[in-house]
Amino acid sequence: MIPPDLRGRRERDPFWVAVNAAFNGIQRFRSLRAPAPPAVRPVDRTMRLTVQEVRREAEDVVSLRLGAPDGRVLPAWQPGGHLDVLLASGRRRQYSLCGDPADRRSYRIAVRRLPGGGGGSVEMHGLREGDRLAVRGPRNAFPFLAHDRYVFLAGGIGITPILPMVTAADRYGADWSLVYTGRSRASLPFLDELPARRVTVRTDDEHGVPSAADLLGDVPAGTAVYCCGPAPMIDAVRAAVRMDATLHYERFAPPPVTGGKPFEVELRRSGRTLPVPADRSALDVIRDVLPDVAYSCRQGFCGTCRTAVLSGDVDDRAPSDQGDDSMLVCVSRAASGRISLDL
């Protein structure tokens, strides 16, 4: 408010008008001379690691040991953690850490080769000792929590997050057991690293495909069940596990689409409109025509497939896929009709 003039009047006094103008001029002059604030630069948390060792662990499975080129200590991780791997092709993939968390100079991951997959596993199998690999993390979406009793269930390459958990449970004296399943013994990586006394190996060629009851057995109340494997295995275990046990699971393949309705996805930049049937994800349909579209987990938690929505309403199907003009095309769908994407 303009103060009263020297005679107590409220109209604009030339004296105060002059004082204000001088003050504003000084402020403007100072702001012109002040150095511009430094630009905010995004922090690049990518590590460029060297492939130190490639080992064949089972049919179509190799492990890779990664370390810093200068041998420095790497960020710590806990059982259940994974790395985001940024491949030279631009693909991103996530691989569970399956080495020893106490080893701070190297990470170990393992990859099953899937020739009919999205190409990431084939590219990983092409890596050789001495190659460089860009990674981010470690991150943990499958935390291993302290319990007195565990039942671990692993299907094939699903052993990778379970292996460090088993080792930790064994180290601190928990009561635990593991059922490890797969097509055949030759397809099961890391069998020789598991303490045989607590491990039951069930292979399809010897025992047939196991039911959830075969896997779970008689789980005592209060047991923590940790499960990683193909989607049908996890779905069966989820349906069968008793109410007083706690179930923790991680899929390495996307869950089937349930409750989906057909819609159309318009790829505005590509000039294509594609029908998405009720039982397929938008990502899978888009990959048919844009095979290099970015994705990783295909389960709605990594954010790699987030795509700008240009028009249409989104049926958000991931907790993190809400509140802005984009969608995770691996799980979310159009609420109705058609959705247009910036692809």
Q: Which of 167, 181, 223, 296 binds ligand FES (CB under 6 A)?
A: 296
For ligand FES, give the closer residue by CB, 58 or 297. Answer: 297
For ligand FES, give the closer residue by CB, 181 or 296. Answer: 296
For ligand FES, give the closer residue by CB, 178 or 228. Answer: 228
Q: Which of 52, 96, 121, 304 binds ligand FES (CB under 6 A)?
A: 304
Is residue 328 involved in binding ligand FES (CB under 6 A)? yes
Is residue 300 involved in binding ligand FES (CB under 6 A)? yes
Is residue 307 involved in binding ligand FES (CB under 6 A)? no
Part in contact with ligand FES (CB under 6 A); list of ranges 145-153, 170-178, 294-302, 334-342:
294-302
CB 284, min distance to ligand FES, A:
11
Is residue 281 involved in binding ligand FES (CB under 6 A)? no
CB 87, min distance to ligand FES, A:
14
Is residue 314 involved in binding ligand FES (CB under 6 A)? no
What is the three-state SS of the chain?
A: CCCCCCCCCCCCCHHHHHHHHHHHHHHHHHHHHCCCCCCCCCCCCCEEEEEEEEEEEECCEEEEEEECCCCCCCCCCCCCEEEEEECCCCCEEEEEECCCCCCCCCEEEEEECCCCCCCHHHHHHCCCCCCEEEEEEEEECCCCCCCCEEEEEEEHHHHHHHHHHHHHHHHCCCEEEEEEEECCHHHCCCHHHCCHHHEEEEEHHHHCCCCHHHHHCCCCCCCEEEEEECHHHHHHHHHHCCCCCEEEEEECCCCCCCCCCCEEEEECCCCEEEEECCCCCHHHHHHHHCCCCCCCCCCCCCCCCEEEEEECCEECCCCCCCCCCEEECCCCEECCCEEEECC
Is residue 295 involved in binding ligand FES (CB under 6 A)? yes
Is residue 330 involved in binding ligand FES (CB under 6 A)? yes
CB 112, min distance to ligand FES, A:
18
Is residue 332 involved in binding ligand FES (CB under 6 A)? no
Q: Which residues bind ligand FES (CB under 6 A)?
A: 295-298, 300-305, 328, 330
